[in-house]
Structure 1
């Protein structure tokens, strides 16, 4: 590696290049904005190069920065692959396993991890909860619990369940419409930043935009809005079936998304990763009735008359 730079420099540079801002890079690295600014300025000074053009839209790579990005990405790929291979040779049932998961699964995972702790007290866990995709390939986590139609072929793991979704309304606060007029009711859905979610795509395709009265990027806020009677919402059934304030009006099959637990092939034989994956997979599989919408109905209308795969009209 050239004089004047080390891996920490390159890691910082890659974070700024990918985030396009000091704030985003600091969030990714777990350091302050001011720390990123100081270290980036020092790195550029040591190289005698300007790597970014600073503008109101963020940090844009210069020609030198684009060249360094290509080389630094290759260095990162090689170092991460080496780290994974070395981690995969660790046969001890001790150490730390990192898990990336969904916030909605936190109560179930806490119960599962409490039981796991009793079985394997030498294994510690670090949990990252985010709706952003955390990279197993770059060794940002060891285990990922994701909702996906088709996980990358480069990962290994198992499918826990095919998720079932439903349309929900408030039990007491909203006059619940008959099936034929669901599209005429007020609705809540995800904001543009999460428009790629299957629930958001279904609402966009089946509900007139004029009927959408609230948008947010936070699932918990959407559920609270439905419970408060602001409008109807479309959610995975495991999020809402046990809520006494909500009623499932219709069941939607065919959104085609599964819950997966995944890891990188280089870690498949690492004992601490393998035993934790097996434990979490079994714990989540035990929640099949909730994940597949088979919880006891909270209201006679919850099940509807069959499965709905068409439009809301």
Structure 2
């Protein structure tokens, strides 16, 4: 990469395309035409000597190099904003985020990466299996299992989520059952009925019991695979696999604190 040949304005345009997921939506926020954006992204790729996008009919999908570039530029953008904003005008904005138990757990383990170092946003996590109302601002950001259909909402597609059974080597071959209205809990209920060694009402507690060697827990692979004392004791459950979307109101997604939170959470989850 020849750094002297980089047009720094192209990096600003890259942020728009990366965040909006395509040329047309990026044109609306950047003030450049889709054709101009397409040319500038191609020029940036040539200058950097790497592919940044997978181009298809439904938009511009980020490559691994592009995801790394996105998070680095977001951090630089944050530092520039802090350096150029008067100290007395730098409030710490609070961003309310709703997610299921597992996504919340994963994000909390990476809280410093998301809030920034030093922190430039505050996150208020609301762990809930039910869907909270984004249009009426119950939360600002929500994680969903499907693309939002409300025209007032904007979504960014995340990694695909899969589930598999996990247990310690010495655990009995009996299931830990979660009493909840979630697809994974309902699947276990269909498979074993009342034949469970333990029952809990909070999904997180099934992980706690599995770590204690008390039975088999059905967990997202992004949780189970990170626990060194747990082994997969079966195949992934195909019918439970689903895409994950990070969703916000279209009027809020351009707020600096919301944009930073989305970019950083996206990066944290894409590294699963």
TM-score, scaled to structure 2 = 0.57
| Cα shift at 1:122 | 4.7
Rounded to whole Å, the distance in 2 between the matches of 1:115 and 1:231 is: 33
Does residue 270 of structure 2 align to residue 282 of structure 1?
A: no
| Cα shift at 1:166 | 0.7
- For 1:10, the equivalent position in structure 2 comes to none
Corresponding residue SS for 1:272: helix
Unaligned runs of 5+ in 1: 1-91, 175-184, 288-313
Question: Do the aligned partners of 1:188 and 1:213 also contact (CA within 8 Å) in 2?
Answer: yes
Corresponding residue SS for 2:188: helix
Q: 1:135 to 1:143 in 2, by over 3 A?
A: same
| Cα shift at 1:285 | 0.9
| Cα shift at 1:120 | 7.6
Partner deviation per Cα, 1:244-266 (whole Å, 9 max, x = no partner): 33221112223132322110112
Q: 1:231 to 1:159 in 2, by over 3 A?
A: same
Rounded to whole Å, the distance in 1 between the matches of 2:203 and 2:222 is: 13
Matches within 5 A, 1:252-263: 252=236, 253-263=238-248
Does residue 166 of structure 2 align to residue 143 of structure 1?
A: no
Unaligned runs of 5+ in 2: 1-88
Corresponding residue SS for 2:134: coil
- For 2:190, the equivalent position in structure 1 comes to 205
- For 1:302, the equivalent position in structure 2 comes to none
TM-score, scaled to structure 1 = 0.50
Matches within 5 A, 1:63-142: 95-106=93-104, 108-110=106-108, 112-118=110-116, 122-142=120-140
Corresponding residue SS for 2:138: coil
Question: Do the aligned partners of 2:98 and 2:142 also contact (CA within 8 Å) in 1?
Answer: yes
| Cα shift at 1:118 | 4.1
CA RMSD of aligned residues (A): 2.8
Question: Do the aligned partners of 2:210 and 2:217 also contact (CA within 8 Å) in 1?
Answer: yes
Aligned partner of 1:245 among 205, 229, 245: 229
Q: Higher Cα Rg: structure 1 or 2?
A: 1
Q: 1:138 to 1:172 in 2, by over 3 A?
A: same
Q: 1:135 to 1:167 in 2, by over 3 A?
A: same
Matches within 5 A, 1:225-240: 225-240=209-224
Question: Do the aligned partners of 1:164 and 1:251 also contact (CA within 8 Å) in 2?
Answer: no
- For 1:41, the equivalent position in structure 2 comes to none
Rounded to whole Å, the distance in 2 between the matches of 1:190 and 1:258 is: 22
Question: Do the aligned partners of 2:99 and 2:142 also contact (CA within 8 Å) in 1?
Answer: yes
Question: Do the aligned partners of 1:93 and 1:272 also contact (CA within 8 Å) in 2?
Answer: no
